[in-house]
Structure 1
Amino acid sequence: MVKRSDTPPPSSEEPRILCVKLPYPEVQPIDFEVHGGAEVILAQWLAQIIKKDSLFYIYWMPRNDMILVSVAREKDGFYNSILGEHRWGAFLKNCRRGWEKHVSTIFYSTYNTDRDVQRSGWRQKWIEASWFDDDYSSTFVHPYPDPIYTTIIPDSCRAIPAARRNVPVSIGASKWLVTSVDRDVPGAPVRTVTEDKKKRKKYSGQVGSLPYV
């Protein structure tokens, strides 16, 4: 019997799939069935840590407390910097009473492609440009606080790279070291290059400095 060949790894053009455990805002999966606004708020939150042009799809499943997000595949390991616990009381300017201790946690997914996700029964919704009005960031703290490293890994998620433990990374629109857009990966951030040794030392360990996993 001929052995089946191994599945090839995703190409550099294939989107990356992220998992979000207990996503912001506080909604039930059924809320994504219709355009009720929950998916818009969710996308606006994600756009605080991922460039909005890099957000493609939201995936959800009934009776599941986790959603998946399809995003442009980065080349410099940028997404390593947003993995971990995002505490609502820290990133919301006016956190609703009772939400202070809520935590949304972001991981890499064990799904490699959008097709893998769809085959597993996840429902898909396209993230629309019209969801991002002029003040879509007004609800959130700037600069956005760093996520907290965690070793608690839900099903369908990958462990956060150990390099995150001791490498402080500042994220959020006001701190991104972005000077241009990588044309190969829409919306992917790139690092500023400087010949000033003092500046190089100052920005050591910030967004984009972690190895790709």
Structure 2
Amino acid sequence: MRFPKAILFPLLLASCLAAAGKDKKKILLPADVLEAQTVLVVVDPGAGMAPEAPNANRTAQEAVENALMAWGRFRLATDVSTADLVIMIRKGNGKIAQPTIGGLPNNNRPVILEPSDSGGRIGGSRGTPPSAGDPTAPSISSPGPQIEVGQSEDLFAVYRGKRDNVLDAPSVWRYQAKDALRSPSVPAVDAFRKLVVEAEKQRAAKP
């Protein structure tokens, strides 16, 4: 069957555009993220304490840190000013809405000593003024009841560090799934590791 030229040209153009679209691969991770060396893990400042699982977020935070140390790619930072990346985590419990206690210092910690083959982390608050919007800064609100809505699964979100209001900027990558922060496997860290490996292959393949 022969097609008129008026029809054939648009079809040919559409085919070329489709082929060009397939050739363009989405950038998996930007260069500055692949070159990052330090990471800070924080609990979502908006996360409250669930009465039935008061240590859920803190336990998840430590599980993520341990998984990152086992990976060995990053050194754990003690504050935003020294962190190339900030990973915000939040533990879900399968409920769309749940009562919690807000205004608690989820990220305030004593001095930490966690040596490891990958360098671990040593330190704590160094007395330097927190940057604006620092998620590890002491809470200035009073503890009180609140209702958290919409967060039913575990959340793992990666942000660029060394800046003010870190968590107000768009995240570089997000992973949200049931039991994503479960210890000891911590599927979220494993998914991030696989993404980094794939992104490095993609970067190396560029001419």
Give TM-score scaled by structure 1 length. Answer: 0.28
Larger Rg: 2
Determine which structure has the larger helix proportion and give its number: 2
Give TM-score scaled by structure 2 length. Answer: 0.29
Determine which structure has the larger strand proportion and give its number: 2
